[in-house]
Amino acid sequence: MAQDDYDGKDITVAHSSGADHSLGDQDPGLAVVPTDGFSDPGLLPHRQRVTDADPKKARKAERTVYTLFYLSIVGSIFAIAAYMAFPMESNNVGDVRLSTVFIGLGITLALLAIGFGAVHWGKSLMADHEGIDIRHPTRGSDETRERAVEIFDEANRESGFGRRTLIRNSLIGALIAFPLPAVVLFRGLAPQDQDPVKLLSHTMWKKGTRLTLDPSGLPVKATDVTLGSAFHIIPEGLAELEHGKLEEKAKAAVLLMRLRPEDLNQLPDRKNWSYDGIVAYSKICTHVGCPVALYEQQTHHLLCPCHQSQFDVANHCEVIFGPAKRPLPQLPIAVDAEGYLVAQSDFHEPVGPSFWERS
């Protein structure tokens, strides 16, 4: 005989060859309950830690823990110092490499030291006794909540979080210092002394700026742009910039394409923004700013490879598929006296993600 765990009814094991078949009229082949249940192995004998037996060892462990937390603070400061010591604006590959290596080392040290410190604290100093937590329904009752508070109090007492102030404060310091490199690094991505919105609303394009090839900087004549072709364009002068070249290019990059003039469906107020079927549109996707670089000359569609937004060049680059929410901004162009393509002005709207339109 064996006993059901749930309602205490006796259930007899049904063996095909068995001796006992006392389930009455029921099919004996279905109810099989093993008779040899597991025995509780119990807990292993408690082994005292050296830090429990020897106060000197406990103090040494405490020193190790707060030293690791202080080391984490040093790592965070080191990462910030490395960021300042090797500025990436120099466009020097050596500086970029050193910056990446030292910032990485600093952040690694900061993270590892917090991790090792926390583990060492738990293993060597926090209370070391085995506990048994009986399973119960997940629904919380008042008693459960009170017990939770008790557990927190107990954990606080046993971990010494409130009592060991040096450890606690150094851990808090390490946790506060750890995100600082990220704050400094992200701040460095924004312009330091100018209004970022204003800066992102304007590009290098202005009246008379020649359209030049990316990356050579050679000016493009209208006669160079054959039907069906597409060119990657940057403003004249960008290739020679010594500072901020990438930032300017990220805003001013343009795609130049030639369609048959009768295929172009131009908005009434943009009739003179193109030249003999040649149109120029921002290359920066209005979704999240990837370069829209794939041109399908048969359908006149531009594809952004990041999230597959598609823009119809024949219809003022309106969005025909994908997550982008607005057309690519058009650059008004004309031809100068020597036959070179030039901009008529800057873009008439901010380039890139739609977010900037909201400002």
Q: Mask: binding to ligand FES, 236-275, rule CB under 6 A, as x and -?
A: ----------------------------------------
Binding test (CB under 6 A) with ligand FES, winner from 202, 297, 323, 334: 323
Binding test (CB under 6 A) with ligand FES, winner from 76, 99, 309, 330: 309
Whole-angstrom distance, CA of residue 329 vs CA of residue 255:
11
Number of residues that bind ligand FES (CB under 6 A): 11
Kindly tell me which of 173 and 322 has the beta carbon lying closer to ligand FES: 322
Residue 335 bridge partners (DSSP): 341
Q: Is residue 307 part of the contact set for ligand FES (CB under 6 A)? A: yes
Whole-angstrom distance, CA of residue 310 vs CA of residue 298:
14
Tokens of 59: 């103090």
Q: Which stretch binds ligand FES (CB under 6 A): 28-36, 110-118, 235-243, 281-289?
A: 281-289
**Least CB distance to ligand FES at residue 286 (A):** 8
Q: Is residue 324 part of the contact set for ligand FES (CB under 6 A)? A: yes
Q: Which stretch binds ligand FES (CB under 6 A): 77-85, 187-195, 316-324, 342-350?
A: 316-324
3-state class (DSSP) for residue 297: coil
Q: Is residue 304 part of the contact set for ligand FES (CB under 6 A)? A: yes
Kindly tell me which of 2 and 290 has the beta carbon lying closer to ligand FES: 290
Whole-angstrom distance, CA of residue 178 vs CA of residue 331:
45
Contacts 24+ apart (CB under 8 A), 168-171: 170/66, 170/69, 170/70, 170/73, 171/69, 171/114, 171/117, 171/118
Sign of CA dihedral 222, 224, 230, 235: negative
Sheet of 294-296: strand order equals 294-296, 301-303, 310-312, 318-321
Kindly tell me which of 255 and 285 has the beta carbon lying closer to ligand FES: 285
Report, in angstroms and rounded to the nearest whole number, the Rg of the chain calculated over CA atoms: 35
Kindly tell me which of 81 and 294 has the beta carbon lying closer to ligand FES: 294
Binding test (CB under 6 A) with ligand FES, winner from 33, 259, 288, 294: 288
Q: Which of 312, 316, 314, 309 lies closest to 330, judged by CA?
A: 316
Q: Which stretch binds ligand FES (CB under 6 A): 31-39, 41-49, 56-64, 322-330?
A: 322-330
Q: Residues 6 or more apart from 233 whose CB is under 8 A from it?
A: 211, 212, 213, 214, 220, 253, 254, 255, 256, 280
Q: Which of 312, 330, 313 lies closest to 321, judged by CA?
A: 312
Whole-angstrom distance, CA of residue 154 vs CA of residue 15:
52
Whole-angstrom distance, CA of residue 179 vs CA of residue 262:
57
Kindly tell me which of 157 and 307 has the beta carbon lying closer to ligand FES: 307
Q: Is residue 290 part of the contact set for ligand FES (CB under 6 A)? A: yes
Q: Is residue 322 part of the contact set for ligand FES (CB under 6 A)? A: yes
Binding test (CB under 6 A) with ligand FES, winner from 77, 80, 175, 306: 306
Kindly tell me which of 258 and 287 has the beta carbon lying closer to ligand FES: 287
Residues engaged in binding ligand FES (CB under 6 A): 285, 287-288, 290, 304, 306-307, 309, 322-324
